Structure 1
Amino acid sequence: MKLLAIATAALMAATVIPAASAELSDGKVKIGILNDQSGVYADFGGKWSYEAAKMAAEDFGGKVLDAPIEIITADHQNKADIASNIARQWYDTEQVDSIMELTTSSVALAVQGISKEKKKIDLVTGAATTELTGKQCSPYGFHWAYDTHALAVGTGGALVAQGGDSWFFLTADYAFGYSLEEQTAKFVTSKGGKVVGSVRHPLATADYSSFLLQAQSSGAKVIGLANAGLDTANAIKQAAEFGIVSGGQRLAALLFTLSEVNGLGLEAAQGLTLTESFYWDRDDQSREFGQKYFKRTGRMPNMIQAATYSGVTQYLKAIQKVGTDDTEKVAAAMHEMPVDDVFGRGAKVGPNGRLISDVYLMEVKKPDESKAPWDYYKVLATVPGAEAYIKPAESGCPLVE
């Protein structure tokens, strides 16, 4: 009987699952960072967002509810079909619990649709379209870093106020570009400005000459670049060759980040007005985070990377709070929990999944104003989150009562 009791106890011990991890599917939390790692947005997010996600998991302790945190990544090549195939594979066969980053609006919309179907949480930091928290919102979808409305309010509003009351748009020919142009145009006209024309260019085109000549001949005071990444950088370089800025017109980089400024250089980027929701040199907390990220990567984070760190951390906090990775419970917690970290100070998540946090109007410094590497911005103004983002009740999201 004594031997039987010992054997029974040993069997029970071998099959007991630790209480904390018993509520986690597959005994781990697995997060996929899906973005562009080889195309025009590779510097915008790319492997640098992956590093931010891994840094967040490590800072969290590498575990949640006594279970390991695993971060994986893949390159969607800015193609919605490739991204969709990866997302389905991750969810169906690789036990991925959440997909994040999702640069490129068409990709983000496709993956959010799949995540809704699979009842999985997606958290977007790299795409801009307001449709993610508008008509195509999801109870499991979150939009974290910025969107086209916030960019329009920041950059568009500032230039109209400074006399830039006529605009011509040079727009990337896909969902993100359309949304950015539409939002900015609405804001410009609401402030008394006018749009005199627009032209669309293919994603990742090498020659902007015909588009820039149309913009130049329009006579618009401001040429709005409704694109991002290398598209914006190349357009700015070629605009200089045509003497557009020296001729009196202004360039508005409607989505441009610290990474692209670094790649372009201050000589070419100086004077640009842009909007970001994070700047590493804004205060002591952001500087501490920036230096830690720099030691890891050799570069300072832009808003995409800082938001990815924040989003991963908040997701893990929600799992910790509810004691499970059950999607319904974690999503509910993420809607309820305030966000107060290096990215979002006193921020909150709206019922449509939009993180409502402050954004910052920046001007790129002249070379002689920069005192150190990555010292690129002057913060001109802070736009409160409540002003920067569409009110949830006006977003068109069917989840908002």
Structure 2
Amino acid sequence: MAALGLAGFAIAGAAQAGDRTGTVKIGVLTDMSGVFSDLTGNGAVQAAKMAAEAYGGRAAGRPIEVIFADHQNKADIGAAIIRRWYDQEDVDMVVDFANSAVALAAVGITRERNKVMIPSGVGTTELTGKQCSPNTIHWSWDSYGNANALVKAVMQRGGKKWFFITVDYAFGHSLEENVSKLVKAQGGEVVGSVKHPLNTVDFSSYILTAQASGADVIVLANGGGDLSNAVKQAREFGITSDRYKIVAPQFNLAVVHAAGLKDTQGLLAAGSMNWTENADTRAFATELSKRNNGIHPDALQAGVYSAVLAYLGAVEKVGTADGKKIVDLLKAAPVKDPLLGDGVIRADGRMLHPVQILQIKSPDESKEPWDYFKTIDVIPGDQAFRPLAESECPLVTNTR
């Protein structure tokens, strides 16, 4: 793994990180105990530690330290942690976030302190829209990129009438808004939607409403435990992939594992890493699973690994922990990412990389533990993510 990381990101350079503690300090702000804990959580923490080890344990001549905290999926708690980290514990960069509302709450604080935040586990497009910042890079995925790729694939397969079961907070709202616009732009129809609270146990009323809508495509615009529960209950109510096109823009390995291939087979999803794809993805997934109770990763945790390596390379080159200078440097050069695929970081902070269309395998197709996805298409990053010409990011619009 050291060779994997350093080949992609090591940049020789000068000597001081310039912080008060004499370390390059990275914070993993994540969901350690809630609905997204298997998707990010301890796996994200371990991915950050693996990146620090792969880089050699030091950057710009200073030891690398990784800490973490659980925001409990509450924006106020996340913001309080961020303030403490920056003001009292001298954290230089924060990664993961796992919750869109928490990430959005951190943008202004990070900019004021001139630190760096690299959300890799959140979907809201506001991070590269109206709330973009010269101190923020949005790394692994967002709701537009996954939605755009999926809509193209589903519409090509005959899906015309769409209905949404949406989690009621920033991530779900962003996902539904983006998918709806794309469906309508390609000649489809949105026939309705229902909103559910985070951490919902009983989806029966929402599923019955979806069935009664006349839709042939049902979008599960949620994630984590909510998505797993919704899928299992949908099967109980007869929502199967041979009767409906069931779409889950944020369907992760851990969710498939929790719901089982019997209930999830045939569903379509979008993602940025299929761990069985090549030797590099296999090596990363195998090592991380050893550190994370056997749970295999996908793009969210892989994004933590690659984002931390990219950040450390920039610190090495800049020689300080100056947030804006580091982000400017990262935007100036291509990203060599062996896990998500090579890309570039645009002026709005969006890291462009390929997006894969994934289909969940049947039990007979799965040949080894955690072998759940097959890649059926790959959409280039510049075709998947929101065009820069449509950006509402002030960093872009102010230069037009």
Query: How does the TM-score come out when normalised to structure 1?
Result: 0.93
Partner of 1:78: 73
How far residue 370 of structure 1 moved from its aligned partner, in angstroms, is 0.7
Q: What SS does the corresponding residue of 2:295 show, helix, strand or coil? A: coil
1:362 to 2:352 alignment? no
Residue 213 in 1 paired to residue 208 in 2? yes
Q: Distance in 2 between matches of 1:139 and 1:54?
A: 26
1:397 matched to 2:370: no
The alpha carbon displacement at 1:246 in A equals 7.0
- Tell me: higher relative CO, structure 1 or 2? Use CA pairs within 8 A at least 6 residues apart: 2
Equivalent residue letter for 2:111: K
Equivalent positions of 1:142-161 (< 5 A) are: 142-161=137-156
Residue in 2 that maps onto 1:328: 324
Aligned to 1:374: 370
CA contact (8 A) 1:120 1:327 kept: yes
Cα distance, 1:243 vs. partner? Answer: 1.0
CA spacing shift, 1:24–1:82, aligned 2, 3 Å: closer
Give the Cα separation in 2 of the matches to 1:167 and 1:246: 14
For 2:297 and 2:136, locate their aligned partners in 1 and report how far apart those are by CA, in whole Å: 24
Amino acid at match of 1:70: E
Identify which of 190, 198, 218 aligns with 1:195: 190
Distance 2:322 2:157 in 1: 50
Shift of residue 296 of structure 1?
3.2
- Is 1:306 the counterpart of 2:302? The answer is yes
* Alpha-carbon separation, structure 2, partners of 1:36 and 1:285: 26
Q: What RMSD in Å do the two structures reach over aligned CA positions? A: 1.4
From 18, 32, 50, give the equivalent of 1:37. 32
1:341 partnered with 2:299: no
Distance 1:117 1:250, change over 3 A: same
1:222-260 CA-to-partner distances (Å, cap 9, x unmatched) read 110111111111001111111122782232112111121
1:243 aligned onto 2:201: no
Mapped partners of 1:52, 1:171: distance in 2: 29
1:128 and 2:128 equivalent? no
Q: Hey, what's the Cα distance between the residues in 1 that align with 2:382 and 2:352? A: 7
Counterpart Cα distance in 2 of 1:332 and 1:314? 12
Select the residue among 313, 316, 320 that pairs with 1:317.
Answer: 313
| Aligned equivalent of 2:10 | none
Cα deviation for residue 36 of structure 1 reads 0.9
Paired residues of 1:223 and 1:250 also in contact (CA < 8 A): yes
Mapping of residues 250-289 of structure 1, within 5 Å: 250-289=245-284
The amino acid that maps onto 2:88 is: T
Question: Within 1, Cα distance between the matches of 2:234 and 2:82?
Answer: 38
Post-superposition Cα deviations, 1:91-122, rounded to whole Å, max 9, x if no partner, equal 11011111110111111100112111221110
Larger radius of gyration: 1
Check whether the contact 1:289–1:342 (CA below 8 A) recurs between aligned residues: no
What residue ranges of structure 2 are gaps of 5+ in the alignment?
1-13
Instruction: Write the mapping of 1:285-300 to structure 2, written as runs, cut at 5 A.
Output: 285-297=280-292, 298-300=294-296
Alpha-carbon distance in 1 for matches of 2:276, 2:17: 42
Aligned residues: 383
Deviations 1:296-323 (A, max 9, x none): 3323211100000000000000011122
Query: Which consecutive segments of 4 or more residues in structure 1 shift more than 4 A?
Result: none
CA distance in 2, matches of 1:355, 1:281: 23
Percentage of identical aligned residues = 48
Q: What is residue 10 of structure 1 aligned with on the other side?
A: none
Deviation at 1:22? 6.6
> Which 5+ residue runs of structure 1 have no aligned equivalent?
1-18
TM-score (norm 2): 0.93
Taking the aligned partners of 1:395 and 1:179, their CA distance within structure 2 comes to 15
